[in-house]
Amino acid sequence: MEKSLTQLGNLIYEQINNQEFPWIHMQSRSTDNILYDTNLRQYVLGPRMIRRHSRNIRHIRPFTQLIWTAWFAKELVTQKKTSTLRETYYSARGQRDIEYTDQQESDNIITDLEVALNRAREDFNIFPAERSAIFGDLTIEYTVPGYEGRRTNLTDHPDGIMIGPAITSSEFIETSADKVLVIEKGAMFNRLVEEKAHEKFNALLIQTAGQSPRSTRAIINRLYTDYNLPIYIFTDADPWGLHIAMVIISGSANAAHLRGLATPDAKWIGVLGSDILNYKLPTEPLTEYDHKRLFELKADPRYKDQFWQDELDILLKIEQKAELEAFSKYGLTYIVDEYLPAKLES
Amino acid sequence: MPQVEYQSISPADFFYRNREIAGFSNPSRATYTAVRELIENSMDACEVQQVPAEIFLRISEVPDNRNTETKIYVMRVEDNGTGLPAEHIPQAFGQVFYGSKYELKQARGTFGLGGTMAVLYGQITTHKPVQITSSTGGDIHEFVMNIDIQNNRANILKHTVKQNPSGWRGTAIELQMDGDYSRIMYRLIEYLKQTAMVNPYADITYIGPKGRLYKFERGTEKLPPLPVGVKPHPHGVDVEAFRRLISVTKSKNMKTFMMDNFQGVGNKTAERFLELAQISLKARPKMLSPEDILRIVRSTKEYGNFKRPDASCLSPIGEELMETGIKKELGLTDEDYIKVVTRKPSTYLGYPFIVEAAVATGKNVRKMHGSGITTYRFANRIPLLFDESSGVVWKAANKNINWKTYNVESDTSVVVAVHVCSTKIPYKSVGKEFMADQPEVEKEITNAIREAARGVRGFMSRRFRLAREKRRLNIFNKFLPKIAEFSGRLAEKDTPNIEPLLRVVSTDIHEVEKKLEEVPEIVEES
Ligand SMILES: Nc1ncnc2c1ncn2[C@@H]1O[C@H](COP(=O)(O)OP(=O)(O)OP(=O)(O)O)[C@@H](O)[C@H]1O
Ligand SMILES: [Mg+2]
């Protein structure tokens, strides 16, 4: 990592020394260059390249920000420190002229750097603010400074362990689990821990806290690829829940330049539209916004399989949506005792 | 039957009774007008003398215990002009309608009234005499006098003659008046500033009642050419004027009479004109009947082939001097746009006149003026400060000109200054405060402004583009060093040198400037 950052510095340095306005080549991230790759079953960047050129009056500011961010990343890497997107944004605050107007702008430059280096930001130690967590019988060994070689079992903490830089960079030593259960919400995750779902289903539990961060997706992918653990995703029955599952399965357009984040074989097991009817779940009507979103998803290439199209259609047809919590209607343990076993069986 | 009494009053008595006509309507306005009349007399005297004017004005308050809004002020004006011959001093300041400016040539003074009115107003409000000190280079004469209003003549209280070893030339007048300074202070100072604008060869020093010093320094020693007296133009003559000429003429016949007494009338013109008027070339002037005279005067209006009135009696400020004056008083620099246009002489009703117009815009103009069109008006180098929106200049600048064609937006700050000089300024009222919209004058003013504004469009787009280029260059100056710094650190090397790159972008700006020089100017059809 350090080497590619230094290389980038050298490139710019040489250009300036040759009395050339520095510029770099990178893949375009504009929407028309984001394509859905049916083989990889995820979004990828197309062949179009763009030039970020400091001779261009509109490019020079983002170009400068990019070089600054590269320097900042190198500092992190060489000093073995980690930082968050938010911290990175704030670190630029002190730098006159480089300063970002908002975090969006900063995040965007970091993504540019990923594209330029062809590496994920986690590789240069910039992580999102974490809210997602993992729980279950998995022994890991830390590699972060000060903890090198230390081991821990992820059942040690009943609240689950936050998926941050330490977990992301750790070695996975062993696990007795034979599946991974991904849940969209913290409350349901806690319920499952309390009800010992990890033992009952012999599963690792992961909660994504809404749309899952990239590091969480990376771990899911790792558990699937390295340990062959099947992944089951469990979300609300509404367009937002569906899409949380879909991003884990097929990735996002924002990360089209990265590999190893999508897990195409992960399974969304519920709450399905048909579950609403079969289990007679308490529902809420779709809002106008839900409606609009459902139609957007129907047009999305990731949803082109019949299975997904049918699921979207059911919601549109019954005009209702349901949350995970809806199962509480049948008692607090119903979901662990009845629903999940049934789902995992099929 | 009620008794009707008849009496006659002197001119001084008339203006005593009707002083508002001459601008002495109330204490504050009277303060302003008095200063104005005295300063204008001084400016005239300096121009006749052809010296760069050196004017000193002091207004000081006379302490008293009155608890009124008005105060007694001592007003003193000194100049380095011609000075007055001792024998003329009493009448010049003690008699209404006595003066040296009745000749047909441009001057600020016209009526033989202004200075005397200031003295008269001081006298009736304070009962104090005026003191006049003057020299034409020889002895210094000092008069202490007042006006015998009923008889329209000076009443000399004291006449002292002093030696003049230093050869001083000029005039100093000191009078007292009951006035109101605080209400008129702003206008008065504005008046002095604008006087300095159109008389850039004048040094004006003013010490106000609170002891504050205002200095308007000259920007040049050059004076505009001295106007010369001319014979009247036949077109402007009326029956009375004609009759007077006849009464003093020595010409034996009408042909020579016409040629001797009017400007621009030669052999041919005299013959053709008299033919039109049905007057024999040989007719003896003194023998003309009243009907003949009336016919001649009417014919002057019909005869279309007189030469244009002679403009040598006029003294325009000139493009160079006017630009100097405006730039110095408005604090303009080379970054601002200013263009002054002196038009060719023109005429209305037989009077020659010349219009000069200046148009200025730019960031220093904005500092003092804010958005929109600000007009400055001058007549025979006198600033006109009152009743702006009734005047012809305001109309021309605001109604006749389509500023959009000059890239002037409503938030652009533009100054339009117009100077009209003439042997007869078309004042709308006797107050000498604004000019009527005589069609010929209005048209000339409009054309002058258009001509002066021609470059504004180019200036605007040039300024706009230059500003953009500067911003651009700034951006490179801002970011290239950062790129160099952080790429150096990233590469674990020193900071690479960006000077060559900065040179590349800054040569671009010169090219842009070159291109901007070529921005075509627009011509608005008039
Ligand atoms: N400062 C002065 N220096 C020399 N002569 C002066 C001065 N002040 C006044 N005079 C003479 O006195 C005359 C009368 O002045 P006054 O101001 O009354 O009339 P005016 O200037 O001729 O006309 P107007 O009424 O338009 O001002 C002038 O014509 C001039 O000859
Ligand atoms: Mg006068």
B352-374 tens-digit pLDDT: 899 999 999 999 999 989 899 99
Rounded distance between C-alpha atoms, residue A95 and residue A15, angstroms:
23
Q: Ligand 1 center to residue B523 CA distance, Å?
A: 44
B182 lines ligand 1 (CB under 6 A): no
Q: Which of B285, B309, B333 is the last residue of a domain?
A: B309
Tens of pLDDT, residue by residue over A285-320, are 999 999 999 999 999 989 989 999 999 999 999 999
Q: Which of A89, A105, A127 is the last residue of a domain?
A: A127
Q: Which of B309, B334, B357 is the last residue of a domain?
A: B309
Rounded distance between C-alpha atoms, residue A141 and residue A144, angstroms:
9
Give the pLDDT mean for A53-61: 89
Q: Lowest mean pLDDT: which of A88-97, A244-253, B17-26?
A: A88-97
* Record: contact A17-B496, CB cut-off 8 A: yes
Q: Which residues surround ligand 2, an ion (CB under 5 A)?
A: B 41, 109, 114-115
Q: Are residues A109 and A138 in the same domain?
A: no
Indicate the pLDDT class of residue B472, thresholds 50, 70 and 90: confident
CATH of the domain at B210: 3.30.565.10
pTM: 0.66
Let me know if residue B225 belongs to a domain: no
Q: What Cα–Cα distance (Å) separates residue B312 from each residue in A249, B229, B259, B426, B476?
A: 96, 8, 18, 19, 58
Domain that holds residue B490: 461-525
Q: Are residues B455 and B494 in the same domain?
A: no
Q: Are residues A116 and A148 in the same domain?
A: no
Hey, which of B98, B101, B136, B173 would you mutate to test ligand 1's pocket, going by the most ligand atoms within 8 Å of its Cβ? B101
B154 lines ligand 1 (CB under 6 A): no
Whether B517 has a pLDDT exceeding 60, the answer reads no
Who contacts B117 (Cβ-Cβ below 8 Å, separation ≥6)?
B15, B19, B22, B23, B24, B33, B34, B37, B96
Q: Are residues B427 and B509 in the same domain?
A: no
Nearest CA in chain A to B505: A55
Indicate the pLDDT class of residue A5, thresholds 50, 70 and 90: very high
Q: Are residues B289 and B378 in the same domain?
A: no
Most confident of A46-50, B248-252, B311-315, B449-453: B449-453
Catalytic residue among A36, A90, A142, A147: A90
Indicate the pLDDT class of residue B430, thresholds 50, 70 and 90: low
The predicted complex's ipTM stands at: 0.79
Using the atom order of ligand 1, give the atom closest to the CA of residue B42: 1
User: CB under 8 Å, gap of 24 or more: what pairs does B149-152 form?
Assistant: B149/B10, B149/B12, B149/B13, B149/B16, B149/B120, B149/B123, B149/B124, B150/B9, B150/B10, B150/B12, B150/B13, B151/B10, B151/B12, B152/B10, B152/B11, B152/B12, B152/B13, B152/B95, B152/B96, B152/B97
B56 lines ligand 1 (CB under 6 A): no
Q: Are residues A147 and A165 in the same domain?
A: yes
Task: Assign residue A180 a region (left: φ > 0; alpha: ψ between -120 and 50; beta: otherwise).
Answer: beta
Nearest CA in chain A to B492: A6
CATH of the domain at B247: 1.10.8.50
Whether B276 has a pLDDT exceeding 80, the answer reads yes
Rounded distance between C-alpha atoms, residue B231 and residue B306, angstroms:
14
Let me know if residue B363 belongs to a domain: yes
Q: Which of B257, B289, B309 is the last residue of a domain?
A: B309
- Catalytic, A90? Answer yes
Output the average pLDDT for chain B. 91
Q: Are residues A10 and A122 in the same domain?
A: yes
Rounded distance between C-alpha atoms, residue A313 and residue A306, angstroms:
10
CATH of the domain at A294: 3.40.1360.10
Rounded distance between C-alpha atoms, residue B96 and residue B37, angstroms:
13
Mutate to test the interface with A, among B470, B478, B482 (most CBs of A within 10 A): B482
Indicate the pLDDT class of residue B202, thresholds 50, 70 and 90: very high
Q: Are residues B302 and B345 in the same domain?
A: no
Indicate the pLDDT class of residue B388, thresholds 50, 70 and 90: confident
Of the partner residues A16, A67, A95, the one whose CB lies closest to the CB of residue B490: A67
* Record: contact A57-B475, CB cut-off 8 A: yes
B101 lines ligand 1 (CB under 6 A): yes
Treating both helix axes as pointing N-terminal to C-terminal, what angle do A306-318 and A239-250 enclose, rounded to 10 degrees?
Answer: 170
CATH of the domain at A24: 1.10.10.10
What percent of chain A clears pLDDT 90, i.e. is strictly above it? Answer: 63
Instruction: Give the residue, B105 or B120, on which the prediction is more confident.
Output: B120
Mutate to test the interface with B, among A60, A78, A95 (most CBs of B within 10 A): A60
Q: Are residues A217 and A324 in the same domain?
A: yes
Domain that holds residue A265: 133-345
Q: Which of A71, A104, A127 is the last residue of a domain?
A: A127
Q: Are residues B500 and B519 in the same domain?
A: yes
Of the partner residues B478, B487, B500, the one whose CB lies closest to the CB of residue A13: B487
Whether B244 has a pLDDT exceeding 90, the answer reads no
Of the partner residues B484, B490, B497, the one whose CB lies closest to the CB of residue A8: B490
B90 lines ligand 1 (CB under 6 A): no
Whether B28 has a pLDDT exceeding 70, the answer reads yes
Let me know if residue B222 belongs to a domain: no
Closest-CA distance, B504 to chain A, in angstroms, reads 10
B92 lines ligand 1 (CB under 6 A): yes
For residue B296, the model assigns a pLDDT of 94
For residue A41, the model assigns a pLDDT of 86
CATH of the domain at B449: 3.30.230.10
Q: Are residues A143 and A78 in the same domain?
A: no
- Listing DSSP states for B285-300 in one string gives GGG--HHHHHHHHHHH
Q: How many domains does chain B have?
A: 4
Q: Ligand 2 center to residue B110 CA distance, Å?
A: 7
For residue B398, the model assigns a pLDDT of 93
Output the average pLDDT for chain A. 91
Sign of CA dihedral B18, B24, B25, B27: negative
Q: Which of A127, A148, A163 is the last residue of a domain?
A: A127
Q: Lowest mean pLDDT: which of A62-66, A194-198, B438-442, B522-526?
A: B522-526
Q: Which among B246, B12, B247 has a CA at the least distance from the CA of B111? A: B12
Whether B111 has a pLDDT exceeding 60, the answer reads yes
* Record: contact B490-A98, CB cut-off 8 A: no
Using the atom order of ligand 1, give the atom closest to the CA of residue B173: 1
Q: Are residues B283 and B330 in the same domain?
A: no
* Record: contact B490-A70, CB cut-off 8 A: yes
Tens of pLDDT, residue by residue over A179-237, are 999 999 888 999 999 999 999 999 999 999 888 988 899 999 999 999 999 999 999 99
Q: Which among A212, A192, A196 has a CA at the least distance from the CA of A254? A: A212
For residue B516, the model assigns a pLDDT of 54
Whether A154 has a pLDDT exceeding 80, the answer reads yes
Q: How many domains does chain A have?
A: 2
Q: Are residues A39 and A183 in the same domain?
A: no
